[in-house]
Copies of this chain bind each other. A is one copy, B any other.
């Protein structure tokens, strides 16, 4: 997530320079051919592209809208993660109750195990989501965050961690373990039938959070939309200097590059925003949210503030 209000010029150029170059070369060529070789081929009246411009602008509006919706939904899902993590921790602490004073220590150890395993789940899901899919873009990125299951290791016991990291779907494995511990607590009498079901419902909320995140990760904005939005921008902006040349002369070059820049930016903003789990600068700030969750949960366990991880790492105006 970008938090700096003013994007650096370098950043913008990094992602647009290839296309900008195309438009500069294109308009220069049109200008030279028209001016020095009297090619009238490019002499197109302005109204021909008026309808085109409006249609493309509306379509880009549509694309940006849905890209934003995906991004914001991703953030909402991880917001739910924060809420239910706190609720889960409170439920573990107040609802799993020993039958007799002798069981007190054992039950408290279970509290810690289940809350720590949840912190592991949060880290695991983040890593699971940020892995690279075969059909997602493999673009060179300016900034990236480290992405490894080792972040979950401190919160799991050794053998559980070993099984965990070899699973096809590691986060789902942790939820299964939580369910089995609930069953055990129920069979030991630490949970009533009713409280057992209530806590299982909270696990279903985590199933939902994982599944909704996977949906956004695995299903790109339909390619038919993204492909054509790019194609239409190229068509429209390629016609621009041909329309401008007859009246604008050399001013065709700056004006058509500026207008093209606006349209290609509109396209690019959508494209960069549509996939919020790709380990890049526009990502949902899952690393930062994992830290918040860890801090909150350990505070609920009454652990000492001094051992909490550091918060809000803002580097280069970006929060991961």
Contacts and interface: CB of A to CB of B under 8 A. Distances in A.
Interface of A: 1-7, 44-62, 64-66, 68, 71-72, 75-76, 79-80, 82-84, 86-87, 90-91, 93-95, 97, 134-135, 137, 167-169, 172-173, 175-176, 179-180, 182-183, 187, 192-198, 200-201, 203-204, 207-208, 210-212, 214-215, 219-220, 222-228, 232, 235-236, 239, 243-244, 247-248, 251, 255, 258-259, 262-263, 265-266, 269, 272-273, 282, 285, 295-296, 299-300, 305, 308, 312, 314, 319
A64 to B, nearest CB: 6
Contacts of A3: 135, 220, 223
Contacts of A196: 195
A299 B210 contact: no
Nearest to A273: B222
A201 to B, nearest CB: 8
A122 to B, nearest CB: 14
Given A64-B62, A224-B269, A247-B45, A87 B207 contact: yes
Give the number of copies in the complex: 5
A263 B55 contact: yes
A82 B222 contact: no
Contact of A197 (B49, B194, B227, B259): B194
